[in-house]
Amino acid sequence: MFEALVMRSYRRDFTAERFAACTLFNVMATVEQAQGLSKDERWPAIAADWTATRDTLQMWTQIVGKLKVALSPFQNQLWHTALHPTGRGLTTQPIPYDDGVFETSFDFLDHNLVIVTSSGGRKVVPLYERTVASFYEEVMGCLASLGIDVRINTKPQEVPNPIPFDQDTTHGSYDADAVNRFFRAMSASASVMWKHKSRFTGKASPVHFFWGSFDLTTTRHSGERAAIPPGRDYIYRVAENEANWAAGFWPGSGPIEYAAYYAYVIPEPEALSRAMIEPVGAVWNAAMREFILPYEAVRSSADPEASLMAFLESTYARGAELGKWDRNRLEISEVPTPRHKVAA
């Protein structure tokens, strides 16, 4: 039912603001189309045994994401490297190449990777049980056939024991139903995250997907610089050099092998770990230095949207208050609405 509904629906010439507005429009349009879905369809259970598929899909998104690293113009906090949610999956958005652009998008309804160019070229890479090496070879071959000569770093990032993409015959699982469930959970989460973003007028990221950490995330910035602890890597030095609150949706791995929402503040204010947050089920993880709310606690609540909104708002509010952010400058009390036309 969800597939049928969605199939009927979805940075200065193209500025960051316009892209963000377009992404918001696409996500909200999908929500409107999906209003007839049941709660369990909008917030599906995520399979406990999809780990092998999750790990394979992460490698595939890294291959596509690294195209942006290689070709997209730099943007602050490495925002130029992120993928963006669509009504069908994730996209690179347009990437400049020669005199045009190309875009690469994951479709988690028909289970394809679609590559299109501004000159009319199009290639489709099916998503099915296949090794990372096979996927990498076909994607790079399709790009070459479209006249896109690009080289990426084949070493995966932010994962333990990385295997170069062209040598990875270890990861090769693909459970289409599990991927679709993850996509629906991500879409529902993105809608709430966009709504939560509405009243913040300071510097803030879009709701976007970082393929290294494999999470949907958004950040708010206070406007102050943040000290970088000695020995931190390039990603941390560039992405976390400003005071910020960040929150997101993560399918889990490593210390937490279940889907969850997270929130943290940099620099971490004193007493943040003791702050009272909502909803019931949200806890402070001392090892990760983050608040964690299991996805299952949200989806099984009477109102998942309200539960997630409470987590986002309470973690932001406590972090901003303890961090002494100038909230009067950074927030508005009411979202402006267009004036109604006066009848003739």
Buried b / exposed e over 113-128, threshold 16 CB at 10 Å, is bbbbbeeebebebebe
In the chain, where does DSSP find H-type helix? Answer: 2-7, 16-33, 39-42, 51-71, 132-145, 176-197, 234-239, 295-299, 304-322, 327-330
Count the neighbouring beta carbons within 10 Å of the beta carbon of residue 227: 9
- Quick check: 267 and 227 in contact, CB under 8 A? yes
Residue 48 confidence (pLDDT)? 86
Residue 19 confidence (pLDDT)? 39
Structure tokens at 119: 């000159």
What digits encode the pLDDT tens for the residues 104-125?
999 999 999 999 999 999 999 9
- In this structure, what is the dihedral angle of CA atoms 264, 199, 279, 83, given to the nearest 10 degrees? -50
C-alpha span between 263 and 300 (Å, rounded): 20
Number of H helices, E strands in the chain: 10, 12
Buried b / exposed e over 141-179, threshold 16 CB at 10 Å, is ebbeebebeeebebebbebeeebebeebeebbbbbeebb
- Quick check: 312 and 263 in contact, CB under 8 A? yes
Residue 22 confidence (pLDDT)? 45
Residue 35 confidence (pLDDT)? 55
Ranges of residues in the chain with a pLDDT under 50 are: 1-34
- Quick check: 283 and 294 in contact, CB under 8 A? no
Residues 6+ apart with CB under 8 A from 295: 46, 185, 249, 258, 259, 260, 261
Residue 206 confidence (pLDDT)? 97
Question: Looking at 206-266, which runs of residues are DSSP E strands?
Answer: 208-210, 215-225, 242-250, 260-266
C-alpha span between 228 and 296 (Å, rounded): 34
H or E element: which one contains 85?
A: strand 84-85
Give the up-direction half-sphere exposure of residue 108: CA atoms within 13 A in the CB hemisphere.
25
Residue 114 confidence (pLDDT)? 98
